[in-house]
Structure 1
């Protein structure tokens, strides 16, 4: 790494193209340690973490055990934390998590597994925590501690305020942490307020530490952890005090690091021959100085760390400004499917063929209208053959009272119209209402309830398509990908069946244009898995020589959880006030998600409010850079497969 970057980054950082490659690398590092300790005739002591971050690491360790003979007989494990109180067989228990993802699939001795006990009587917690620390010391100390990081900067459950010398203890959870966990517990009100956790000092005692972070949602806290001063307001910053720590990131989680976001400020060499790098620098400068691009001067570049860019340009500031201004202007199009009989030299989409067969993939039944509803409406209005594929049923995001209401409707409707001798639907209503009356917080829905909730979401999606002018019987495709159908927030890994379902639809429709969700900050991971299914399907079809793929472009949208950075945007579809209103009406058709979504994530606003704010913000940035002013803009990035 360049010395300037080292000065900015206070801990060693490794950035991988994606979380898959990063997870495999971490798993192999753990495997090397296990083998090395086995060769020495002593145990490998591992500190383990839970949550979505390490799951792929555990899957790779299981694969190494099954396929490459990696044995865990010499391994002793200590988990970081557990909710309190928490029964070990609860769906949200970290005991259950560790067994489902790792321990049940490897040969680690049961007596070598240590996980904080969420059932310890309150009056015995202090002694239990003291004993947990003692067990770690008796095992010889932790050789390698695996960590994720929370949005508050917590490691383990060491919330802001936790000191560098803190030890294993009972802690009260931060509101943000409880909000982030709300989806696992089917509502924030069900999240325990306390947890048992190893302390920051306990973590720092480990001989080696690997902290992992994936996705754009972790980028801001990663920057503070890696580049900020050590502070108890961000406990992860204390990792800077450890002599053998690694921070392992994917590209998205590294996005806010100085070396990635503004390398010129760190004195790093930048590739000024790369148009994307130049665009990033110029738009950054314009926004930093709050000036339109065309008003930037030589002095502005020289005084803000961009003299090298100006020196390598074959013109002065004005010529550079015009070049970047034109690039941004060429991203704007009112014809997302391509404008027929027009010169498309500087347009983001091809003029021909027209009309196009368009396939929009929507991870949940409402992502299509939330994230690109204005573009969907415009594609339909402009005469394209638009299809929408809903990748998952979205059934877990429906409140129980909605299921009862629909079951009640079916029973009443049946009673009014049932012919003599037919089976009454009242029995269905009785079963549903009785199950939901007895249902415990976080309990998985019965198959009947899951089906009803899935039908509610399906009906809402059809209603939104009708508003857009599409016949859902012909243009809606409900894939119900198997990875999602667990009845729980925690899903199965992507499987062959998920990919094959996607391939079959692509081959059947053979679209000329595909839209897919590239919003990987979805805290529940569904968007990430759905995108992986599409990408793997497309890559497989390409390898098989599918001829229709040669004339198919793939555009990635965001909007439900965040938006593309302005310098990344390759197609910007402007929305008028009327189009933004039509988009809102389409979102409103998803009544089960209206007023209060079941799983809102960290942003408590309704999805239509988030979407409009992001659309308006993108339009405002274009305006501030000196480009045309619009009510809103939906943004897309092309995937070059």
Structure 2
């Protein structure tokens, strides 16, 4: 019976999927399977032939393999490896090369014989690539094929660098990278234009010959492409769908990467559900959108025809369910994000008292405050609350080099205009020009350049906060140490990051904390900054009573919005407030037009923000709520 239930739940899935609670647990499990294979082959005195992947996804797998080697004696003496791919052209000692990646994350820490390591050669002359690819295939075949191939998946659906359009029988070859793939790699190279346009990759046909294939994916960022790969039709537009044809494949996912699979996203379509309030709210909103009707016009027939008959039977009549959910959604809407003084707050998202709250907006980068919640920020000030803003990092990696020269030139001219000696500054300026002229991709800037980039973002942030009405005394720059590496790769969070945050919170004792709640990228600055705030509040809760009255509200940025069923506070913006928010964003001139790290969205940040806020308002309107120009959305964090 349990097996029947599982088949019912997974009937939309066209290949085996194993879901773990988090990526660490999943990575340890995959590493354990690799270790078992290696030991089995050792016992038979045979080589273990592994196909290896690079990128963020397998890092924790490699870390666990290193731990097994150091602490449990796992030997790699019989292991032969073939890496999936390498950028072309690419020097093996470059920071972005997969040779460097594999050495740093695995090979330098285990007892593998170096002659057993095979990675595509990114230094070959163009005329030699085809012959190299044939030899790569021959070496794999000579060993009897790959025992185990591990894979990640790109947002285009690529496996290895087999981009959309790749053939299912393709072999190792030189390919052209998709624009989205290059955008995703841009942070590693210091800009998309510096990412190689080509790569050498093992082919889908080569991957298929492996006796076992494990594709891993972590984080909600991968959820949309995972759904296409697992539940979609086989198509060259999503190369990972070819894996549906293999009898030897398994997808290993964390819960976030699996979150858009039918059994997790809309479970009522595949099984009976325990109808918690949040699931009921999600289902009714989904049904409203599915049949294109306001909530209050949904009928019993709509419920029955869309997998929600169980809900109608257990909690009906359906009109009563409709009214309940309609009221819940309506009660999230408020024009008083700090609470409405003297009003009944039993159906409002925020408390009425104290009438004048101390609020702090934490901004991971110097522009997240106005991009993400600029309208609410301004309204809190307008409504008389004591509003603070804390910029957690300098954001100094996201400024163009030529902006640095422009600002230093201005400073030199200013010194000259007031009769000050600018000789020393001119020397620094010449050093900057020489450094920038010979700068390599992602090379760490000099301290002087990093400082100027930080100054640029600091002055823009001050300008934006002042425009919102915040007094200078309430503008705080933390420059948290974890960020100040000079690299795009940041340090781990340390005690100093938490201490600085605790001290700021203690000095303000806020009733409200607003923080970024973007968790799609588990390695992004937003989630790191969020964790610092939460850990700081957890510690303060043990000794300080005011923390028990401090509510934490999460916002999202230019990249995504909370699903409607999760929103707990929706702040409507008038057309005039939309313009005020836009003007606050415009104060961040270094991020306008073409930011250093734009992601795969060609729109400017202010356009993304306005579109997102308008779409949130439209989603409420479609559900039958009042029609607003725009809305900013928040979810409360509960300890």
Supply the distance in 1 between the matched residues of 2:519 and 2:120 (Cα, whole angstroms): 31
Give the secondary structure class of the aligned counterpart of 1:567. Answer: helix
Number of matched pairs: 635
Give the distance between the partners of 2:289 and 2:227, measured in 1 at CA: 20
**How do 1:412-561 and structure 2 match up within 5 A?**
412-417=413-418, 419=420, 424-472=424-472, 474-521=473-520, 525-541=524-540, 544=542, 546-561=544-559
Residues 200, 308 of structure 1: alpha-carbon distance in 2 compared, 3 angstrom cutoff? same
Backbone CA RMSD of aligned residues: 2.4
Greater Cα shift, 53-62 or 8-17: 53-62
What is the CA distance between 1:408 and its match in structure 2? 0.8
Equivalent residues in 2 for 1:8-157, closer than 5 Å: 8-38=12-42, 41-66=45-70, 70-157=74-161
Seen in structure 2, the aligned counterparts of structure 1 residues 284 and 404 have a Cα distance that, compared at 3 Å, is same
- Secondary structure of 1:76's match? strand
Q: CA offsets per residue over residues 30-78 of structure 1, 9 Å max, x none?
A: 4444455455554443322222222333344444545555544444332
Find the residue that maps to 1:2 and give its secondary structure. helix
Report what 1:302 is aligned to.
304
Q: Distance in 1 between matches of 2:80 and 2:395?
A: 39
| Aligned-partner Cα distance in 1 for 2:72–2:532 | 27
3-state DSSP class of the match of 1:253?
Answer: coil
Is 1:635–2:629 an aligned residue pair?
Answer: no
Q: Which region of structure 1 is more displaced relative to structure 2, 520-529 or 175-184?
A: 520-529
Query: In structure 2, how many angstroms separate the alpha carbons of the residues matched to 1:21 and 1:639?
Result: 25
Q: Distance in 1 between matches of 2:19 and 2:356?
A: 42
- Alignment correspondent of 1:349: 350
Native 8 Å contact 2:298 2:322 kept in 1: yes
1:194 and 1:435 map into 2 onto residues whose CA distance is 28
Task: Determine helix, strand or coil for the equivalent of 2:188.
Answer: coil
2:403 counterpart residue number: 402
SS of residue matched to 1:7: coil
Q: How far apart in 2 are the matches of 1:107 and 1:418?
A: 65
Q: Distance in 2 between matches of 1:92 and 1:116?
A: 14
Question: Is the alpha carbon distance of 1:156 and 1:582 closer, same or farther for their aligned partners in structure 2, counting shifts above 3 Å?
Answer: same
User: 1:213 aligns to what?
Assistant: 217
Q: What residue is the counterpart of 1:379 in the other structure?
A: 380
Change (3 A) 1:365 1:576: same
Partner in structure 2 of residue 331 of structure 1: 332
Distance 1:345 1:191, change over 3 A: same
Question: What's the CA shift for 1:504?
Answer: 4.2
Establish whether residue 202 from structure 1 lines up as the match of residue 206 from structure 2. yes
User: How far apart, in 1, do the equivalents of 2:23 and 2:594 lie?
Assistant: 32
| Residues 407 and 428, structure 1, Cα contact 8 Å, conserved in 2 | no
Once residues 492 and 141 of structure 1 are traced to their aligned partners in structure 2, the CA distance between those partners, rounded to angstroms, is: 39
**Cα distance between partner residues in 2 of 1:523 and 1:84:** 28
Q: Match of 2:327, SS? A: helix
Q: Does the C-alpha gap of structure 1 residues 21 and 585 become closer, same or farther in structure 2, counting only changes over 3 Å? A: farther
How far off is 1:548 after superposition? 3.5
1:457 Cα deviation (Å)? 1.0
Cα displacement (A) at 1:493: 4.1
Please give the alpha-carbon distance, in whole angstroms, between the structure 2 residues aligned to 1:168 and 1:119. 16
Contact 1:264/1:305 (CA < 8 Å) preserved in 2?
yes
CA contact (8 A) 2:10 2:263 kept: no
Task: Show CA shifts across 1:147-176 (max 9, x none).
Answer: 211121100100112122211111111222
Q: 2-side partners of 1:552 and 1:244: how far apart?
A: 52
CA 504–35 in structure 1, closer or farther in 2 if over 3 Å, else same: farther
Q: 1:275 aligns with which of 271, 274, 277?
A: 277
For the residue of structure 2 that corresponds to 1:425, the secondary structure is helix
Contact 1:407–1:432 at 8 Å: present in 2 too?
A: no
Q: Aligned partners of 1:464 and 1:149: how far apart in 2?
A: 39
Q: Distance in 1 between matches of 2:212 and 2:538?
A: 38
Distance 1:75 1:326 in 2: 62
34-43 or 52-61, larger mean C-alpha shift: 34-43
Please list every run of 5 or more consecutive structure 1 residues that lacks an aligned counterpart in the other structure.
none
After TM superposition, give the deviation of residue 623 of structure 1 in Å.
0.7
Measure the CA separation in 1 of the matches of 2:348 and 2:194. 51
Shift of 1:499: 4.1
CA distance in 2, matches of 1:95, 1:227: 34
Which residue matches 1:316?
A: 317
Deviates more, 1:160-169 or 1:497-506: 497-506
Contact 1:559 1:614 in 2 (8 A): no
Question: Structure 1 residue 579 and structure 2 residue 581: aligned?
Answer: no
Q: 1:275 to 1:152 in 2, by over 3 A?
A: same
Q: Is 1:236–2:240 an aligned residue pair? A: yes
TM-score normalised by L of structure 1: 0.93
> Shift of residue 640 of structure 1?
1.8
Partners in 2 of 1:283 and 1:121 — Cα distance?
57
Deviation per CA, 1:80-136, whole angstroms, max 9, x where unpaired?
111111111223212222223333344434333322110011111112112222333
Residues 414, 424 of structure 1: 8 Å contact kept:
no
TM-score (normalizing by structure 2): 0.93
For residues 353 and 70 of structure 2, the distance between their equivalents in structure 1, rounded to whole angstroms, comes to 51
| Residues 1:367 and 2:368 are matched in the alignment | yes
Query: Which whole-Å deviations, capped at 9, do the CAs of 1:431-456 have from their partners, x for residues lacking one?
Result: 11221122244433222212211111
Name whichever of 280-289 and 517-526 sits farther off: 517-526
Give distance in 2, aligned partners of 1:548 and 1:21.
36
Q: Once the 2 structures are TM-superposed, how far is the Cα of residue 476 of structure 1 from its aligned partner? A: 2.8
Question: 2:515, 2:260 → 1: CA distance?
Answer: 24
Provide the residue aligned with 1:597 in structure 2.
595
CA contact (8 A) 2:219 2:522 kept: no
